[in-house]
Structure 1
Amino acid sequence: MNRRTAIAVCLAACLAVSLGGIALASAQAHRLVWKECGDGLRCADLVVPVDWGDPGGPKTSVHVAKLPATGRSTGPLIINLGGPSTSTAMFRPKNAAEAPPEWPILLKQLRSRFDVVAIDPRGMSEPGSSGKRVSCAEPEASIYGLISARAKQDWDAHAAQNAAHQASCRKAAGAAWRGMTAWNVAHDLDALRAALGQDKLVYAGNSYGTVYAQAYLELFPQRVGRMYLDGTADHTQQEFEPWLRNYARTQERHLTRFRDWCARRTDCALHGRDAGKAWDELVARVRRAPLPASAGRTVHEGQLYAGAVKGMNPAYWPRFATAIRKALDGDAAGFLTELAPDQGGSSVSQDSLCNDFMPKLPTYEEFQGIEARLREIAPRFGWIEGRFELGRCWGRSGGASWAPHPLRVKDVPPILFAIGELDNNTNYLGQQHVAEQIPSAQVLWHGDGHAAWAANTCLRRHVLAYLTAGALPARGTRCPAERIQRVGK
């Protein structure tokens, strides 16, 4: 981001603070009307300005859902589970497959103490639909698409598909489109807090839900009660390349972690050999010629890396090891099947993300220089993260924007962060960078990967104690890995 853009962001933030009282008064004029909406839920739509910078302007609605406390309630706990997507949908049993299997256990614990209230980010759910996701007419390009791209014409095709998707999303999202930023969602959170009659916000944000929290901490520090951030996405890196470097370094280190995991596990397909060197050998082969695969197919270098990005997620390590071994034995089909990259979806999720994280994209030529520098610091695997992250937004433009910037937070109560040593989704380096900018932050490290709150019993115990009574774990507390121990079993 150039200096002029940074100044504009600062001015916008300052204006937001000055308008805070007006915006809150507008929000308090609207009361939540709760209705039964199935699955034990009570649903409501909160009417808010399309743009909180213009609180008297056009309105849109934000969908919220509540699961009432099963025990004596200490008040509402507002949650957002990330995506960005419809968090309210995760309360419904039919969507259980999208959540960790331990999610019902966590939800039961939370409901024993709180009325649990989920909020959908603006534009994600259809107004008055009890949380039905907004669907765009045109599919987006796969976020893995630029990894597989071999020529500029592939990049251009990826951009064209994302542009068509964005145009269809603009129609599908309707009035909400102009305000789809975390800055506005943070104001929605405060409006919901006020409508619930909560003096200080008690909030749990997972993954993208932490981006809304970062905005809230800047805008409404005096209204922060307790805030738990799990798998924090770093919205504080002002320049694009340093943000990518943290991803590249994390993925490079993950190759070593994958190697070490495989060495400990007798059921790993590469057990008994150095899994990292096995990967290096496969890369050397594919750079000489495409790898043979069953049914007369081949796997080129981009396809190999695309499958490996998916395989580097700890949950996929067993499949990744098997795919490498079979490819070395002459059949690389696993990178086209078991590790096949996900195709583009039809939601507005990536448009919202790009508005927040990449409102200004590098040119194709500029990115070649960025990629060359990423190869210098992460030559074996991590360098590919540049294409992966850029693939989300390549071809999109002209939406709302809330650009990354250093966090400006002071005078807030203790904020609890959970950071996973195996988190390569919202990389742990970036998470640590956010926490370091909040004087009252306390970090609870754990040995698992992204968003492990539901799966790790140690995390659940400490987080529940913090959210209910403000009790923080002793500094230096670390929760051992639990989820990764079950991978492959």
Structure 2
Amino acid sequence: MGHPTSQGGRHRALTVGAALLSGVMLLSACSGGGGSEQRGEDEEGRPSEKSTPAARAYPGVPDAISQQRLSWDPCEAPTVAQGGGEAPGELDDGTPWQCATLTVPLDYEEPDGETIGIALIRAASTAEGDARQGSLIYNFGGPGGSGVLTLPMLGEQYEALREGYDLVSFDPRGVGESAGVRCLDGEEIDRQEQEHGALPRTEEQEEAYAEMSAEYVAACEANAGEILPHLTTTNTARDMDLMRHVLGDSRLHYFGISYGTELGGVYANLFPEQVGRAVLDAVVDPTADSVDGALLQARGFQLALENYMADCAEVYGEECPTGEGGEEGSALLADLLAEVAEEPLETGGERQLTEQLAVLGIVATLYDQEAWEYLTVGLMEALEGDGELLLLFADAYNERDEEGRYSNQRDAQAAITCADTTGQRDPEAIEENRAAFEDASPVFGPYLLWSLAGCEGWPTDGEAEKPEVSADGASEMLLIGTTGDPATPYEGAERMQRELGEGVGVLITFDGEGHGAYGQDECIDDSVEDYLLSGMVPQNGLVCG
């Protein structure tokens, strides 16, 4: 179980969105630049169907790795570990989604040693010849999200960017089919959630919770112990630079969302001269330690909740399940969660809606304003004793399918977080910070409080207290902050701009709701596309929405 929450990401919001579409059925029943080098192109200048020619030597790794050829084949259906579903097939213009595996060292300090495979996916650019600028590599967040699953789901949204780039994404190390970490199976996860679904409130409950966490950590060590020390964000950044090299690009063109912005910042710190055009959307605060980061997230989700409640009161009036919102609405939801902790809600199936699942069900719908109407119905049902809809949302957030199988995003998130950070290892921090978290959010604060000990007993040490993102000498990078973002509050974008260094980060603002701005607002979309396709950097301080 390890970590009760994460920084979130576009992949998470997408999965929830799919569940909300199913929920509709339930509701109706109820009521700078950089060129490309070697690429493997056909006669029209587009990527060849089957392979990428061997790249030149890459410093620090054997020639067998640096000069490897990528064999691109039609993508199979995503695996359970990636999130499941159907094979992506083709884009509207007939362009196929193609998949390949990149070989990378498990340990970059021992590059001649063991290797792992990084699962890749791409859609070729619509440009021909010199108009094609290279590859645009995506990370959609998490940590723990499968890019192989997510990129095809967003293919239509990013179609304009294919005018200049091959769209490429990947499963980061530890995720999905890239040496994916697996700790517990679906049956064991369900058992833990049902048996320990309430947040600890007594000494006896705290002991039981600690035993459950220790069981989880032991399972992770037993099933994935050899790779756990190597699942750091810095190693994933090194994988991306090797990916850039093998793809034939002289610079990395990049689009990172949520945790993907942290990965982008770490990459820029390690390889400032290799930074091409980079967009960081829904920006993580790189200055926050584990306590500050969790507090920021508690405040962010509380702000999104208050915005939702105000909208609900305006739309539904007295029928709104959170009343007039504000403190009254928060108190009502906190009372509901306390009641669910004592007596979980029935859902029409074998599983009950526990307190923690109820929190996740609410969290899931705050990523996107279009989901607010479904939250209203879910809360109405929960107040009447029916937890089915909130459980559906929680399962979507957790990437649990109808057969009770989970993707590995939860395990990957825990493994990457604990490999990255020296924090989240002190159980005493829970009591020391309880008042601050409850003050930040009576609804989400108690839940996020327990993340402070999420890495207790983890078999490996964390790399650092905070990520290093200073990137003096890097090309200008475009940062996008959303004022109502629940998972990565706006101030994170401001702090990332400062930490990157003078003249590196260009910050624009989306004055609106949701997690991630691209695809929501024409002004934002135009700014991103002008920057990526034409190199036109928007005015720092631009406000859209």
TM-score range, shorter chain: 0.7 to 0.9
When the two structures are superposed, what TM-score results if normalisation uses the length of structure 2? 0.69
> How does 1:70-81 map onto structure 2 within 5 Å?
70-72=126-128, 73-81=132-140
Cα distance between partner residues in 2 of 1:338 and 1:47:
39
* 182 and 219 in structure 1: CA distance in 2 versus 1, 3 angstrom threshold: same
Does 2:194 align with 1:138? Answer: no
> How does 1:81-230 map onto structure 2 within 5 Å?
81-83=140-142, 84-92=144-152, 96=153, 103-126=154-177, 135-139=182-186, 140=189, 148-169=199-220, 176-230=227-281
**Paired position in structure 2 for 1:275:** 325
1:281: Cα distance to partner?
A: 4.8
| Identical residues among aligned pairs (%) | 23
Post-superposition CA distance 1:149-180 (Å, at most 9, x none): 33344444444445444554556558644411
* 180 and 138 in structure 1: CA distance in 2 versus 1, 3 angstrom threshold: same
Post-superposition CA distance 1:267-317 (Å, at most 9, x none): 894299522244245258569977999879999987775654445444543
**Paired position in structure 2 for 1:369:** 432
**Paired position in structure 2 for 1:350:** 413
Cα distance between partner residues in 1 of 2:375 and 2:328:
11
Does 2:384 align with 1:331? Answer: yes
> How does 1:36-75 map onto structure 2 within 5 Å?
36-38=73-75, 39=89, 40-72=96-128, 73-75=132-134
**Paired position in structure 1 for 2:478:** 416
Does 2:292 align with 1:242? Answer: yes
| Range moving further from structure 2, 37-46 or 335-344 | 335-344
| Alignment root-mean-square deviation, CA | 3.9
Conserved? CA contact 2:98–2:121, under 8 Å: yes
Conserved? CA contact 2:309–2:329, under 8 Å: no
Q: Which amino acid aligns with 2:509?
A: W
1:53: Cα distance to partner?
A: 2.8
Post-superposition CA distance 1:335-389 (Å, at most 9, x none): 984677446845132233322554442433331111123334x254453353364
When the two structures are superposed, what TM-score results if normalisation uses the length of structure 1? 0.76
1:184: Cα distance to partner?
A: 0.3
SS in 1 for 2:539: coil
**Paired position in structure 2 for 1:483:** none
* 406 and 194 in structure 1: CA distance in 2 versus 1, 3 angstrom threshold: closer
Cα distance between partner residues in 1 of 2:449 and 2:194:
9
Post-superposition CA distance 1:6-33 (Å, at most 9, x none): xxxxxxxxxxxxxxx8436768633232
| Range moving further from structure 2, 250-259 or 79-88 | 250-259
Cα distance between partner residues in 1 of 2:239 and 2:306:
42
Post-superposition CA distance 1:383-417 (Å, at most 9, x none): 335336448x3556014633324533212111111
Conserved? CA contact 2:347–2:391, under 8 Å: no
Cα distance between partner residues in 2 of 1:288 and 1:43:
47
Post-superposition CA distance 1:104-152 (Å, at most 9, x none): 322322223211121221132436xxxx966554355669967633334
1:263: Cα distance to partner?
A: 4.3
Cα distance between partner residues in 1 of 2:334 and 2:248:
61
Does 2:523 align with 1:464? Answer: no
Post-superposition CA distance 1:315-342 (Å, at most 9, x none): 5433444455667xx6253598467744
1:472: Cα distance to partner?
A: 1.9
- Gaps in structure 1 of 5+ consecutive residues: 1-20, 97-102, 481-489
Conserved? CA contact 2:138–2:169, under 8 Å: yes
> How does 1:288-437 map onto structure 2 within 5 Å?
308-310=362-364, 312-313=366-367, 314-322=369-377, 331-334=384-387, 337=390, 341-342=394-395, 345=406, 347=408, 348-356=411-419, 358-376=421-439, 378=440, 380-381=442-443, 383-384=445-446, 386-387=448-449, 389-390=451-452, 393=454, 397-399=458-460, 401-403=462-464, 404-405=466-467, 407-437=469-499
**Paired position in structure 2 for 1:32:** 69
Cα distance between partner residues in 1 of 2:266 and 2:487:
20
Conserved? CA contact 1:159–1:395, under 8 Å: no
- Gaps in structure 2 of 5+ consecutive residues: 1-57, 76-88, 90-95, 401-405
**Paired position in structure 1 for 2:36:** none
